[in-house]
Amino acid sequence: MKVLVTVKRVIDYNVKVRVKPDQSDVDLANVKMAMNPFCEIAVEAAVRLKEAGLASEIVAVSVGPAACQEQLRTALALGADRGIQIDSGEAPDPLGVAKLLAAVVAAEKPDLVILGKQSIDGDNNQTGQMLAALLDWPQATFASALALEAGRLRVTREIDGGLQSLELNLPAIVTTDLRLNEPRYASLPNIMKAKKKPLEVKSPVELGVTLKAHTRLLKVEAPAERQGGIKVGSVSELVEKLKSEAKVI
Amino acid sequence: MAILVIAEHDNRALKGATLNTLGAAAQLGGELHLLVAGFSCAAVVAQAAAIPGVSKVLVADAAVYAHQLAENLSRLVAGLGKGYSHLLAPAGSAGKNLLPRVAALLDVAQFSDIVGVVSPNTFKRPIYAGNAIATVQSLDPIVVATVRASAFDPLPAEGGSAAVETLDAAHDAGTSRFVGEELAKSDRPELGSARIVVSGGRGLGSGENFALLEKLADKLGAAVGASRAAVDAGFVANDMQVGQTGKIVAPELYIAVGISGAIQHLAGMKDSKVIVAINKDPEAPIFQVADYGLVADLFEAVPELERAL
């Protein structure tokens, strides 16, 4: 079984984002970048399938400028076999990304595509579902467990109020939630080996995809700051404040 | 042109977030239609038809829609979508699963988790875990968006009498199958729409100790939530998680107990009207956003608070 896994280069999870003074976007100049955490989980899920003898090849794909080759190399160090960078220039919106990925899927013919459920920059949570629509494949979003049984995929999903379990025909799309696994760290020997693994660069034109803008970003602003209040000295003072000042109980 | 809202429900009752989504839809201008797609969902249809402001309820009642499988439902909604200016759904797990698929079928963008309506094609939405708010404009003929319920006032639940129209299209992609579900059973209000939320963090120390919070919650008629640290430590189930990757809540009163206040948690609750923090560490970041902070051992303060109410 061939698995395709997507990785996105985003601001590091631990970095506090700042909005540019002209409110055109957030300021990413000289900010530490990393692989999107949900993509790390997707890569780990693919590597575990290969280790279990269920996947024969893992192809990692990233859409973005040349800098995202760094994250593809990370995926290769974690266990992916080869990488494809789709050189899209500025990041397209999720529909554009899904169209580019659909073209890669048409060429690579994987049995399973694993994506992070969302990236921590745009927080869109759309690409996997859109890719599933474009391919007319079944989807299991927000996966917290997955298993292959007799050529079908059994997925547990995190939904509001609990867990749902689905069975999907292959080929299928899975998007990862936080509790699917705990990603490993790349070892130094594997980081060295990853440098020799194949990494292709493709343009949207080569993939036959014409990107179109569906949205326009007008402004990015900092959220309203919440002011800290007061410290109370005792439980009785707290109850008093909640009753007479805040009037919420 | 009319606006179509996709109802969130469990075939027995309409979820409250649907009313907030209708509240957002009402700001756009245009007739409001509500789609109830499910199986044996007559009770939901009756509730939907009673919402003032909804002029028409579309009903797709078929076994293939029983579990809201996106493969089947997206075809239904995309088929209807061409006749509408906007397609909206609550930004819960059901809406987030469905609407991007619908948008791709219609070849339009989708807007996730909108928190403000600037104009019928321009919206505010949080990015970077709520650390920035983007104003985005649609360039497409149909706007498809999920709505963060806590950011909009709900329409009233009763007093209307909408027309009910039955759809007979039953799409079955045949590629996915519902196997089962495990849903938390609770008599407490739903976390996403509760007026008061009591949340616990790593400071609780164990799942058993959440009983302290449950007693307090029952006294207040509150829902119980948790930080990601408490969920990852295995104290409670994942569906209780409040934060960037869990539920976004904005109750009238949020009581954070033994929660340090990681930025990912704050993203999920900072729009609450009143925030109370109980933590023994006076330096905990949660105090920077709390209206009322109590530096105390939670194992003493929580039972005392419960008795004092």
pLDDT per residue over A18-53, tens digit each? Answer: 999 999 999 999 999 999 999 999 999 999 999 999
Q: What pLDDT is attached to residue B72?
A: 97
pLDDT digits (tens, 9 = 90+) for B5-18: 999 999 999 999 99
Cβ within 8 Å of A, B 23-62: none
For chain B, domain boundaries: 3-166, 191-308
Q: How many Å lie between the alpha carbon of A44 and the closest alpha carbon of chain B? A: 18
Which residue has better confidence, A228 or B47? B47
- Asked whether the predicted pLDDT for residue A90 surpasses 80, the reply is no
Q: What is the ipTM of this complex?
A: 0.95
Q: Does the annotation list B6 as a binding residue?
A: no
Selecting from B135, B139, B220 the residue whose C-beta is nearest the C-beta of A214 gives: B139
Task: State the architecture of B191-308 in CATH terms.
Answer: 3-Layer(aba) Sandwich (3.40)
Report CB contact under 8 Å: A17, B128: yes
CATH of region B3-166, choose from 3.90.79.10, 3.40.50.620, 3.40.50.1440, 3.40.1210.10? 3.40.50.620
Q: What pLDDT is attached to residue B239?
A: 87
Report CB contact under 8 Å: A248, B196: yes
Mean confidence (pLDDT) of chain B: 95
What is the C-alpha separation between A203 and B186, in angstroms, rounded? 52
Q: Cβ–Cβ contacts within 10 Å for residue A61, how many?
A: 28
CB proximity A16 to B under 8 Å: yes
Q: What confidence tier does B104 reach under pLDDT thresholds 50, 70, 90?
A: very high
Residues of A80-102 as b/e, b for ≥16 C-beta within 10 angstroms?
bbbbbbbbbeebbbbbbbbbbbb
Q: How many Å lie between the alpha carbon of B136 and the closest alpha carbon of chain A? A: 5
Q: Does the annotation list B86 as a binding residue?
A: no
Report how far apart, in Å, the C-alpha atoms of B224 and of each of A176, B51, B210, B270, B292 are: 25, 28, 9, 16, 19
Q: Does the annotation list B261 as a binding residue?
A: yes
Question: Is the bond preceding A92 in cis, omega lying within 30 degrees of 0?
Answer: no
Q: What pLDDT is attached to residue A202?
A: 97
Token pair of B265 as six digits: 């948690």
What is the C-alpha separation between B93 and B149, in angstroms, rounded? 12
Q: What pLDDT is attached to residue B208?
A: 97
Question: Do the bridges between strand B3-6 and strand B253-257 make them parallel or antiparallel, or are there none, so unpaired?
Answer: unpaired
Q: How many Å lie between the alpha carbon of A243 and the closest alpha carbon of chain B? A: 10
Report CB contact under 8 Å: A154, B179: yes
- Asked whether the predicted pLDDT for residue A91 surpasses 80, the reply is no
Task: Identify the DSSP state of A110.
Answer: -
Q: What pLDDT is attached to residue B231?
A: 94
Q: Does the annotation list B101 as a binding residue?
A: no
Q: Got the DSSP string for A111-168?
A: SEEEEES--TTT----HHHHHHHHHT--EEEEEEEEEEETTEEEEEEEETTEEEEEEE
Could you tell me if B83 and B95 are in contact, meaning their C-beta atoms sit under 8 angstroms apart? Answer: no
Mean pLDDT of the region A130-139: 98
Q: Does the annotation list B242 as a binding residue?
A: yes
Q: Does the annotation list B258 as a binding residue?
A: yes
Percent of chain A with pLDDT over 90: 91
Cβ within 8 Å of A, B 129-148: 129-140
Q: Does the annotation list B21 as a binding residue?
A: no
Shortest CA distance from A215: residue in chain B: B138
Q: How many Å lie between the alpha carbon of B33 and the closest alpha carbon of chain A? A: 24
Mean confidence (pLDDT) of chain A: 96
Report CB contact under 8 Å: B70, A139: yes
Chain B partners of A17 at a C-beta cutoff of 8 Å? 128, 131-132
Tokens 């969902």, residue located: B41
pLDDT digits (tens, 9 = 90+) for A72-82: 999 999 999 99
CB proximity A213 to B under 8 Å: yes
Q: What pLDDT is attached to residue B264?
A: 86
CB proximity A150 to B under 8 Å: no
Q: Got the DSSP string for B197-243?
A: EEEE-GGG-SSTTHHHHHHHHHHHT-EEEE-HHHHHTTSS-GGGBBS
Find which of B242-246, B262-266, B296-300 is predicted with most confidence, using mean pLDDT: B296-300
CATH of region A2-245, choose from 3.90.550.10, 3.90.1150.10, 3.40.50.620, 2.170.130.10? 3.40.50.620
Report CB contact under 8 Å: B128, A26: yes
Q: What confidence tier does B113 reach under pLDDT thresholds 50, 70, 90?
A: very high
Chain A partners of B308 at a C-beta cutoff of 8 Å? 235-236, 239
CB proximity B185 to A under 8 Å: no
Cβ within 8 Å of A, B 211-250: 220, 228, 232, 237-239, 244-245, 247
Q: Does the annotation list B265 as a binding residue?
A: yes
Token pair of A21 as six digits: 């003074």
Report CB contact under 8 Å: B128, A121: yes
What is the C-alpha separation between B55 and A75, in angstroms, rounded? 51
Q: Got the DSSP string for B231-262?
A: HHTTSS-GGGBBSTTSB----SEEEEES----
Cβ within 8 Å of B, A 167-186: 167-169, 172, 177-179
For chain A, domain boundaries: 2-245
Q: What confidence tier does B169 reach under pLDDT thresholds 50, 70, 90?
A: confident
Low-confidence winner among A192-201, A233-242, B216-225, B241-250 (lowest mean pLDDT): B241-250
